[in-house]
Amino acid sequence: MERVVVVGAGLAGLRTVVGLREQGYAGELTLVGAESRGPYDRPPLSKAILSGKSDDSALPFDPDELRVDFRPGVRATRLRGDVVETAGPGEVSGPDLDFDGLVLATGAEPVVLPGEGARYLRTHDDAHALRAALRPGAAVVIVGAGWIGAEVATVARTVGCRVTVVEQAPTPVAHALPPQVGRHLAPWYAEAGADLLLDHRVAAVGPNTVDFADGTTLRADVVIVGVGVRPATGWLADSGLELDRGVVVGADLAAGRRGVYAVGDVAARWSPRYGARVRGEHWDDALRAPAVAVANLLGGAQTYDPVPYVWSEQFGRMVQYAGLPAAGLPASTPAAGPPGAEPDVPGTQLVWRGDPAADDRWSVFWLDQDARVAAVLAVDQPRDFVAGRRIAESGAAVDPALLADPAVSVKSSVAGSAG
Ligand SMILES: Cc1cc2nc3c(=O)[nH]c(=O)nc-3n(C[C@H](O)[C@H](O)[C@H](O)COP(=O)(O)OP(=O)(O)OC[C@H]3O[C@@H](n4cnc5c(N)ncnc54)[C@H](O)[C@@H]3O)c2cc1C
């Protein structure tokens, strides 16, 4: 292999070029990035940068040391055979880049609601512009009570804005958490002094307005939308690659054409663990997948199939979540531990450690029919989380009664464990 092109200079793109050199690739290496700056981390955008604790989240990157031809401000516009077509700022077309190895790492873009002028948060520049707009006393409406919406609400309240979060689902983080779990995140908004309007469907947004489907309108000084992301695959439309909510790749991260791989938010990978196609959309995936893609591009035969992991810092709490509870779990069994009176997530047994209604710190585990940990959510319980994630990765079964007992360590709940 002599010429590798990496498209997208976010975390996944950076980890790919670093991985190539670390794994001994000595040929030509080009990194194309649509943004004008070098690779940077996105999780701080809605945390340290928005709150003013930090101005920058640049990742260490020395193109000379890595012998990378880095092209910031250059967008890949088309993939035609073994050529990536490009365009620089203000250009209709730039140089063609031919390759014998290609790694797609173009990440994702915010889902855009109808209407003009609302704000979105994906880039360094978005974060700085939003920070300037979040002034004490400003009326801020955030559309979406997902991970990002909650983080923006947290910072906006800290700054002293008047905050309303609107969400079409009946509970926060509804895309990832079932209502039985998500509803325990709702009181955090009121505690922080933010209004949370659930079951509110937004029809359109403007710079200072949110129009609801029922015909009513909410006015604000700042409107921010955080309703999810879409993989950045537009430029691949006629590439011949299979696209289905991302670039479809196998567990080896190969995109079905020799020498072409996809990593990070743009990849829709087959997971043997879940028997389903999954999209990472999380930092951990962009960090870890590239080493596997690189190994395989260089002739290896590795599989990438972790338990998905995300964290979120909201309303003074560290929320950590790992797993995929919805994937093919069969018939339901009763819940264990408080608040045990609740109905189950279909096909899953929920085991609570601590009571979310009474305790500041708690965790909840989803068990499948064989009492294996399908997912774990922990609120300020990093030990429970680390152990739970490890058990989920291992596929070991647990004893639900032991797991529900906060006096017993999560690790000791593994069936047959000596403690
Ligand atoms: C505000 C915010 C907070 C977050 N917080 C968390 C968190 O707390 N925990 C967590 O797990 N995850 C978090 N995430 C998600 C995490 O940041 C992403 O999963 C991660 O950035 C994905 O990395 P990536 O390299 O795949 O994609 P990206 O970071 O999106 O990078 C892709 C790059 O490719 C470029 N690009 C796109 N199209 C082209 C093209 N055609 N040609 C050239 N370049 C192109 C883009 O401009 C971008 O720079 C957060 C994301 C955001 C936006």
Phi, psi (deg, nearest 5) at residue 165: -110, 130
Q: In what order do the strands lie in the sheet with 209-212?
A: 202-205, 209-212, 217-219
Alpha carbons 178 and 370: distance in angstroms, whole number: 20
Q: Whose CA is nearest to atom 37 of ligand 1?
A: 106
Alpha carbons 122 and 126: distance in angstroms, whole number: 6
Ligand 1 closest atom vs CA 86: 42
Q: Which residues of 177-215 are buried (b: 16+ CB within 10 A; e: fewer)?
A: bbbbbbbbbbebbeebebebbbebebeebbebbbbbeee
Pocket lining: 33 vs ligand 1, CB cutoff 6 Å? yes
Ligand 1 closest atom vs CA 14: 25
Give me ligand 1 centre to Cα 193, in Å. 30
Fold of domain 321-413: Enolase-like; domain 1 (3.30.390)
Alpha carbons 101 and 91: distance in angstroms, whole number: 25
**Strand 222-225 relative to strand 119-120: parallel, antiparallel, unpaired?**
parallel
Residue-wise pLDDT for 100-116, tens only, equals 999 999 999 999 999 99
Q: Which two tokens stand for residue 55?
A: 């101005």
Strand partners, 311: 320
Please report the pLDDT score of residue 324 as a whole number.
85
User: Under 8 Å CB-to-CB from 378, ≥6 apart: which residues?
Assistant: 319, 320, 321, 362, 363, 384, 385, 388
Pocket lining: 43 vs ligand 1, CB cutoff 6 Å? yes
Give me ligand 1 centre to Cα 153, in Å. 20
Give all strands (DSSP E) within 73-189, no chain letters: 75-80, 83-87, 97-98, 101-104, 108-110, 119-120, 139-143, 162-166
Alpha carbons 173 and 181: distance in angstroms, whole number: 9
Give me ligand 1 centre to Cα 13, in Å. 10
Query: At residue 368, what is the residue type?
Result: D
Pocket lining: 46 vs ligand 1, CB cutoff 6 Å? yes
Alpha carbons 286 and 264: distance in angstroms, whole number: 4
Pocket lining: 282 vs ligand 1, CB cutoff 6 Å? yes
Q: Whose CA is nearest to atom 27 of ligand 1?
A: 107
Query: At residue 81, what is the residue type?
Result: G
Give me ligand 1 centre to Cα 388, in Å. 27
Q: Whose CA is nearest to atom 6 of ligand 1?
A: 43
Please report the pLDDT score of residue 201 as a whole number.
97
Q: Which two tokens stand for residue 112?
A: 């855009």
Give me ligand 1 centre to Cα 140, in Å. 25
Fold of domain 119-225: FAD/NAD(P)-binding domain (3.50.50)
Q: Which CATH architecture has domain 3-110+229-297?
A: 3-Layer(bba) Sandwich (3.50)
**16, 49, 184, 219, 357 from 377: Cα distances, Å:** 30, 26, 12, 35, 15
Q: Which two tokens stand for residue 246?
A: 């991302």
Query: At residue 90, what is the residue type?
Result: G
Domain boundaries, the chain: 3-110+229-297, 119-225, 321-413
Give me ligand 1 centre to Cα 278, in Å. 17
Task: Give the DSSP letter string of 320-343.
Answer: EEEE-TTSS--S----BSSSTTSP
Give me ligand 1 centre to Cα 15, in Å. 13
Q: Are 322 and 307 in contact (CB under 8 A)?
A: yes
Pocket lining: 107 vs ligand 1, CB cutoff 6 Å? yes
Give me ligand 1 centre to Cα 42, in Å. 6
Pocket lining: 7 vs ligand 1, CB cutoff 6 Å? yes
Same fold for the domain at 119-225 and the one at 321-413? no
Nearest-CA neighbor of 333 among 347, 351, 319, 312?
347
Residues of the chain with pLDDT under 50: 327-344
Please report the pLDDT score of residue 371 as a whole number.
94
